[in-house]
Structures are given as structure tokens and as C-alpha cells.
Chains A and B, each alone.
Chain A
Amino acid sequence: MTSTATLSVCGVSKHFGGLQALRDVSLHVNRGEVVGLVGDNGAGKSTLMKIIAGVQQPSGGHVAIDGEPAEFTSPAEAAAAGISTVYQDLALAMQRDVVANFFLGREILAGHWLGRHLGWLDRRTMRERTARELARLHTRIPNIDARCKDLSGGQRQALAIARASAWCDRVLLLDEPTSALGVEQHREVLDLIRRVRDLGTAVILVSHQMLDVLAVCDRITVLRLGAVVAAVEREDVSADDLVGYITGSKPGRGQASTERPGGGPAASGAAGGGATAGDGAPAGGGPGAARPAETDGE
């Protein structure tokens, strides 16, 4: 199953000098599925995101698209493969309008001579397509000619997500999309994530908000100290469980059963596979057991 997952991360490691940021991390996500990625600060979430998005390259292991190993040396290559990322800062040009932001870097040129030779923009088509895309995701942005700085936080988030999902329909990485939002906007962004999922995109949601993760994710992977300590179905866990995995007060579980059948070990070959399969349980329990004092302190 995982060998043909839309996106699979197979035994990925990453070290910066002597610092081991990720250790043999595997996860996968399919079309129409939301996978949560949680963990404390410094657990390796950001590094993993950057590797998937092509910003950084893994020290070991690999990322695969539809079962085919892919090596992204730049974000552009990841984008070309259909992977898109919405970072916390949203990367919107605040003084430009919704249309300009939606088509940032992908402007439509007019069909006539001016467009072909002088880059004359086809503003009308850009407006229509922006409106259509936003309508597709039922986003509540009433005025596509408004400047981004005049939008609410939720509308900005919606625009960033809609833009990302419109141009890269395979995998959408979301980094803390619900932080700093009001209650209503918060709910709308979660609805938006569900709609993106329903339209057939594989979504990875990074969040510190356990209730959000439980609300929209089908499966949840917990990182702790650079390793997967739990990979569980949503039905099987509570917010307290997740916090337990994150802090290490609860021993890890689930990684072996979820990842072993396909994913990393099988795809990454005999040598790596053997090591990963063998390490599965200890890697899960190890870090959690190793630092019990820390969790008492918290």
C-alpha cells in the first residue's frame, strides 16, 4: 500500500554536523488523506517539512512520489512534482491584491502581440480564474481586488492554501495554518483543509494544536527528538495521548505496525530495510523511555 502512496518518506535521516535532526523517519500520505505531524519544538518537524519541500536534502533515506524515489534539489523541483508548502508566514505580498498574489510568479499574459512580446497581463482571465479557484474551495474572500493587508488572518490563510492547492495538486504541506486565528476563522480553515482533501490532494498538517490535528487528520505521526515515536489512526488516540507521545511521558507505539508493511523498509532495500524493521520498536520506545525526568519537569 505505502509503496504506491502519493508521498512516502522512507527511512529519512538528516544530520547537521554532529547534530542528528532526523533519525530513520518514515511516513506516507495518500490522496484524499490528511496526515498530522506533531512534536515538540526541535523534534524535527520543520526539518522533515523542508526535506519534503525540497529546501533541504536528506542525509539518508529518500522521499518517493507515487512509489518512485524522488530527489528534490530545490523547492522548484518539489513544486514541479506537485508538492506545495504553505509556511506560517504565508509568503503573501501584502500590498498586492488577491489576484496578483494568486498568480504570483504564474501571471497569465495576454494572447495578443503585447502579451507575447512585452508581458502584457491578461488581468481579466486572471481575475476569473482566481474567483473560480476560490469558489472551488468555498473560501470566503468577498473581494478578489482587495489588497492582502486588508484581508483578515483567516482570509489570508485561505488565500495561501487555495493558491498552493491550485498550483500543486498532489501534496500540500501546511505549517501551523491555524495559529493566531479567531474562533470562526479557525473553523473555516479546518473546513478548507477538509475540502482540499476531498478534492483529492494529499495533505500533511504540522500543528501544535492537538484538537485541530484530531479534528481533520486521518492518521497522526508523532516526532520526538528526531524519530517517529508514534504513528497512529485518529480513532485510536486522544489529545492527552498525543501530548504524552510528544513529551515522552507515554511510550511510543504504532510505527512498526503502520509503516512496516510497505513504505520505507521495503522500498529502501534490504540493508536499510533490515535495520529499520529491527529498530522500529526500540526507536519508538527508546527516546520516550530515555528521558522520563524531562516530562516530569514539564
Chain B
Amino acid sequence: MREVRPVSERVAAPPLAPDGTRAADRRAWLLREGWTTLVLVALIVGFAIWSPDFFGKLNWLNTSSTATEVLLLALGETFVIIAGGIDLSVGAVLGLSGMAGGRVMADLMSGGTSTALTVAAGFAAALAVGLAFGMLNGGLIARCHIPAFVVTLGTLGIATGLGNLIYNGQEISAIPAWVGAFGNTNLLGWIPVPVLIAAVLCVVTGLALAKTRYGAYTYAIGDSREAAIRAGLPWQRQLVKIYAVSGLLAGIDGVLVMSRLGAASPTSGVTDNLNAIAAVVIGGASLFGGRGKMLGSIIGTLIISVLLTGLIIVNVPPYWQEVAVGVVLITAVYIDQYTGRRRR
């Protein structure tokens, strides 16, 4: 509407302070964020000393797959939380997306459709369901002004129920074998396809958050909704887009989890949403909005995943992982308050 038009074209540009101030900022950031990285490194070293199997190929494949499942949700959740919202529905949407895709593929396959078409239609259906739920969340939050907690708690229930209704609460395993092969192919022997996809999405979402207008709007809305509105940001449209991305990532996640299992399960993702939120918060994002980094969320996810697979490999009952994540979460927020990282 209004073009960018500073009044000062005629004024000579003053010498700009070198970007060194940015570098100093970055160093301070590293110092304050660094401790989560240290926790991650300490966990890895500790588990490796405890059990030599930790650095084995099997554990790597296991850990990276576990991480991928939470990571995709955490990437979307990072945008949502930085924008001052919350998305409780992502885990359920993951499950529903997989079931929707699985049902489409099962029906097409039994009708004799070619594998390529079946898989394409199934994956598309899963992504569409994820995107639709994200847009529904965003629309209700931004346009109808219903609190994000309430909306996504509602869609959490809706998606869980629909996911069970699709096949009467059962798994769908009558899907093309190609799907299972796709999800379990290890490139160069070490890189599962879902992990590669997750890595690409990490880069894309990280750059989108840090370097684009989409990211700038996300931060601004979460930092001060009032300032964003006064500045004329299309804040409602942006909120819809943010939840849409979160939903779409949950849909992609649904496809990847289904591919790894070789079947669609309505219980996929049920605990992932809380782990994703915990990962983002451990990564330094503020639930009050305006604060957070994609790299932090990635590190937070890795801490949670390493805790899970590491405890399994050293023969500690995996239920302790939930205890450990809870402890790390509370400690992280406390340390942040103490060091001022989270202080507004």
C-alpha cells in the first residue's frame, strides 16, 4: 500500500558502525545459549562412556528417527511460540494426517490404482489435512479471537477423534510397500530419508525465521501485538500463515512417521506435541512471545531425543525419559531467568 520512502534520500549516509556489534551480540548469545549445547554434549559423552553401543549405527538411526518425529513439530511450534501463541494440536494432527493418507492409499490400492498415483494421492491427502487443521487453528485464533490454548486444545480433541474414526481406532497397514521402503532407506548407509528431509526443513525454517519478512512479522507480533497493529502489519493473515506452517509440518511429519512404520497408526504423535513444546522452551523461546531461535529449538529437540534413546541403551526404563525432560525443562527456564536470557 505505502511504498518504502524514507525522507532522507538527500542526506549523506553516515559511516555505519561495523557489524562487529552484531558479532558481539552473537558472542553474548552463544554464551547464554551455549549451556544448552553443553548439556547436549554432556549427555552424548556421558551415554557414550556408559555404553559403547551409544555411538553405534543402530543407536544413531534410532536417535535420529526419534528426533525427526519431534523436530518437525518443534520447527512449526517455534514460529507459533515466538508469535506469542501455542499449538497443542500438532501431535494429534500428525496422527490424523497419517491416518488420512493411509486410508486414501489403502482404498486406492485395493481399487488397483498404480503405486505411484496411490502414494502421491496419499501423501497429498496427509499434507492437505495438516495444512487445513493449521489454517483452521490460525483462522479461529486470528479472526475469531479465541485464545490459542483453547482453539488448539479443541482441535487436539477433534483430530484425535477423527484419527480414530478413520479406521475404527485400528492401524492401517495395507499401504504400498514403497512407503515403508521410502521411510527406511538409509542414504550412504547412515542417513535415513526422513532425517535428510528434516535437515532440509531445519535450514529452510531457520532461514525463514531469521532472514525473511515472514520471520520479522512473526517476532513483531509476538513481541508487541499492539506495535505490530499500529505499524499496519497484516497480523491476522500472518497468524493464519504461522499456524498453517505448523499444521503443514505436522502433516509432513505424519507422512514420515507412517513411512518409517510402514503403516498408519492413530496413536502416532500423541506425546509429541508436549515434547515439541518442551524442546522449543528448552531452546530458549519465551512463551510470552517475541523471543526464540530455530537453532535453540533444534538443540532442545536433540536433548530430548538423546535422553530417550540414551536411557534405553543404558538399560534405564525409558519412563525415566519423561522425568528427565521435565527436569530439564524446568531447569532451563530457571537458568534463563537467572542469566537474563528470558528477562524481557
Q: How far is the CB of B342 from chain A (nearest CB, A)?
A: 10
Q: B8-28 interface mask toward A, CB cutoff 8 Å, 1 = contact, 0 = none?
A: 100111101101011001000
Say whether A79 contacts B14, CB under 8 Å.
Answer: no
- B253 close to chain A: CB less than 8 A: no
User: What residue of chain A has the Cβ atom nearest to residue B15's Cβ?
Assistant: A131
A135 in the interface (beta carbon within 8 A): yes
| Minimum Cβ distance to chain A for residue B224 (Å) | 5
Q: Give the residues in chain B near A166, CB-CB below 8 Å.
A: 6-8
CB closest chain-A residue, reference B292: A95
A118 CA / B6 CA spacing, docked (Å):
23
A197: shortest Cβ distance to chain B, in Å? 14
| Cβ of B212 under 8 Å from chain A | yes
**CB <8 Å contact, A94 and B223:** yes
Q: Does B144 contact A (CB under 8 A)?
A: no
Q: Which residues of B contact A89 (CB under 8 A)?
A: 226
| Contact-size category for B | 35 or more
A121 close to B344 (CB less than 8 A): no
Tell which of A16-24, A100-108, A248-256 binds the partner: A100-108
Distance between Cα atoms of A100 and B344 in the complex (Å): 17
A104's contact among B12, B13, B227, by CB below 8 Å, is which? B227
Q: B6–A95 contact, CB under 8 A? A: no
Q: Is A145 an interface residue (CB 8 A)?
A: yes
Q: Which among B1, B213, B230 has the greatest number of chain A C-beta atoms within 10 A?
A: B230
A149 touches B227 (CB 8 A): no
| A85 CB → nearest B CB, Å | 8
A76 to B22, CA, bound (A): 33
Q: Do the beta carbons of A96 and B223 come within 8 Å of each other?
A: yes
In the complex, the answer to whether B216 meets A100 with C-beta atoms within 8 Å is: yes
Contact assessment for B228 and A149 in the assembled complex, using a CB-CB cutoff below 8 Å: no
How distant is the Cα of A95 from the Cα of B2 in the complex, in angstroms? 25
A119–B213 touching, CB < 8 Å: yes
Near A by CB (< 8 A), chain B positions 36-66 give none
Closest A residue to B204 by beta carbon equals: A118
What's the least CB distance linking A147 to chain B, in Å? Answer: 9
Residue among A119, A144, A166 with the highest chain B CB neighbour number at 10 A: A119
Q: A95-B344, A121-B212, A131-B16 are in contact. Are A100 and B220 (CB under 8 A)?
A: yes
Contact with A along B130-172 (1 / 0, CB 8 A): 0000000000000000000000000000000000000000000
Contact with B along A86-101 (1 / 0, CB 8 A): 0101011111100011
Interface residue B188 (Cβ < 8 Å from any Cβ of A): no
The residue of chain A having its C-beta at the shortest distance from the C-beta of B291 within the complex is A95
Q: What residues on B are CB-neighbors of A127 within 8 Å?
A: 16
Q: Chain A residues near B316 (CB, 8 Å)? A: none
**B8 x A136 contact (CB < 8 A):** yes
Q: Is B231 close to A, CB under 8 A?
A: yes
A residues whose Cβ falls under 8 Å from a Cβ of B: 75-76, 79-80, 87, 89, 91-96, 100-101, 104-109, 118-121, 123, 127-129, 131-133, 135-136, 142-146, 149, 165-167, 169, 199
Q: Could you list some 5 contacts between A and B, CB below 8 A?
A: A79-B232, A93-B290, A96-B290, A143-B17, A149-B344
The 9 closest A-B pairs by CB, nearest first: A105-B231, A119-B213, A93-B223, A91-B227, A104-B231, A135-B14, A119-B212, A91-B230, A95-B290
Contacts A79-B2, A80-B2, A93-B290 supplied; 14 other A-B pairs, CB < 8 Å: A79-B232, A91-B226, A91-B231, A95-B290, A105-B228, A106-B4, A118-B212, A121-B212, A131-B17, A133-B8, A136-B8, A142-B17, A143-B21, A145-B19
